[in-house]
Amino acid sequence: MGKPTGFMEYERSVNPAIAPEERVKNFNEFHPPMDEDARRQQGARCMNCGVPFCQSAVKIKGMVSGCPLHNLIPEWNDEIYNGNWDLALARLRKTSNFPEFTGRVCPALCEVACTCGLNGNPVTCKENELAIIEHGYANGLIKPHLPAVRTDKRIAVIGSGPSGLAVADQLNQRGHNVTIYEREDRAGGLLMYGIPNMKLEKTVIERKLALMQEEGVTFVTNADVGNNIAAEEILDNYDAVVLCCGAKQARDLNVPGREGSDVYFAVDFLTSTTKSLLDFGLADGTYVSAKGKNVVIVGGGDTGNDCVGTSIRHGCLSVTQLEMMPKAPDSRLPGNPWPEWPKVCKTDYGQEEAIALFGHDPRIYQTTVKQMNRDADGKLVSIDIVSLKSERDEQTGRMRMVEVPGSEKNMPCELLLIAAGFTGCQSYVAEAFGVECTQRNVIATEADRYQTNQPKVFTAGDVHRGQSLVVWAIAEGRACAREVDECLMGYTNMI
């Protein structure tokens, strides 16, 4: 513990943010880093607790508090305070493959569990993590690390999202020969096309992918295994296969007027923007544009918020976000104490931008779409929305959201985006490899295991656990890699 009184002497301070009115003019990241002295003060706030909840990943009432990767947070906070950046980097990389990703997009389960947050403000663990890895890149501390010995084992990883990359990185460092198959034109999966640039600039991903290639990982893009590449070909040529395809089966809306143009799943909308931005700087005009349109987004989560921010950058006329559930409280209720995950209302960057530009929060709670209305040419012109209330189902005893009679309203809408989550994996990959799925439509394994009913086939990430966080995908990838290594070698020394 570098400074025993640091948490009393220094207040929590976070990286500054470019004003919403300015940052919406481009798709760049908008949190410039603080200077080194200020960051060292933030490292000094860490108490090096006797029980570091921040790295424990404890499940409480069905929710996890603390880092799923078990990052050695007190150790590298101490090194930050003392200016030992190379040692901080070594401790961070011991448990985390991609801190440059999680330091940008993770919701910071570690900070929720920070003991300083019990009676004050938690340590800036997430930003400290990002500062360490970016200091490493800027100062030439991140270099290719090739395994000293290569085995004769060949592993195919299907999907290059965070879980697939973690599996590949771990097994490659172990000395195995790893090839990643990605159906899109670029590797990165969810990181590349599911998260907008303003949260995670794609140069950050490309930098890491280039490093992994130098270290020996092979990437094959435009490779849709189960369609243009047969599963049998993969099984015949590799000693093990790991399915990391994500949970990409989007939840749809079943309402009158759904069929037709101007209605898109959120992931398709975000992907079209990112592809156009990377290939043409949005000059090609082929992406789904919100410019000059009244945009309605169905879904109040992170992806819905990303659609808000993207629509604003397109130049939308207005943006509204519909959320079925009631608004969460602004502060913790007595029944939701620390260190549980705080069930509170969060106003994210897209909503902040909507408030700044349009003068009001874009979210409407306890509301959903009842009907989509189209003109004579079939174009979407408006929607009918209806209010919802919570009511107990007499048969199941569970609470459900039901329509409030007479609460229907009409609102203009020329572009509707569905960000209502996902219902599991797209089945064709699972079917191609003959692996079983659960009732939740994810690939089945034994509890806390990653081998499927096909001995040669393993799985990790969202396709295994369902829609989740990047940090959980990385944790699953690391755990799956250990199991693959043990299966192939008869033992494992991987952590």
Digit-coded pLDDT (tens) for 48-82:
898 899 999 989 888 899 999 999 999 999 999 99
Strands (E), 261-309: 263-265, 294-298
Distance from C-alpha of 190 to C-alpha of 370, rounded to nearest angstrom: 30
Strands (E), 345-488: 363-365, 367-374, 380-392, 399-403, 409-412, 415-418, 457-459
Q: Which pLDDT does position 160 carry in this prediction?
A: 98
* Chain centroid offset of residue 391 CA: 32
CATH architecture of the domain covering 154-248+423-489: 3-Layer(bba) Sandwich (3.50)
Distance from C-alpha of 99 to C-alpha of 78, rounded to nearest angstrom: 17
- Positions in the chain whose pLDDT score sits under 50: none
Q: Which residues of the chain does CATH 1.10.1060.10 include?
A: 6-138
* Chain centroid offset of residue 52 CA: 24
**Could you say which DSSP state residue 440 is in?**
T
Q: Which CATH class is domain 263-418?
A: alpha beta
Side chain identity at residue 253, one-letter code: L
Fold of 6-138: Fumarate Reductase Iron-sulfur Protein; Chain B, domain 2 (1.10.1060)
What count of other Cβ atoms lies within 10 Å of the Cβ of residue 25? Answer: 9
Residues 417 and 296 sit within 8 Å (Cβ to Cβ) = yes
Q: Which pLDDT does position 336 carry in this prediction?
A: 93
3-state secondary structure of 264: strand
Residues 290 and 270 sit within 8 Å (Cβ to Cβ) = no
Q: Which residues of the chain does CATH 3.50.50.60 include?
A: 154-248+423-489, 263-418
Q: Which pLDDT does position 62 carry in this prediction?
A: 85
Verdict on whether the full-model pTM lies above 0.85: yes
Distance from C-alpha of 5 to C-alpha of 64, rounded to nearest angstrom: 29
Residues 223 and 233 sit within 8 Å (Cβ to Cβ) = no
Distance from C-alpha of 195 to C-alpha of 175, rounded to nearest angstrom: 31
Residues 463 and 146 sit within 8 Å (Cβ to Cβ) = no
Spatial strand order in the sheet of 177-181: 218-220, 177-181, 154-158, 240-243, 457-459
3-state secondary structure of 476: helix
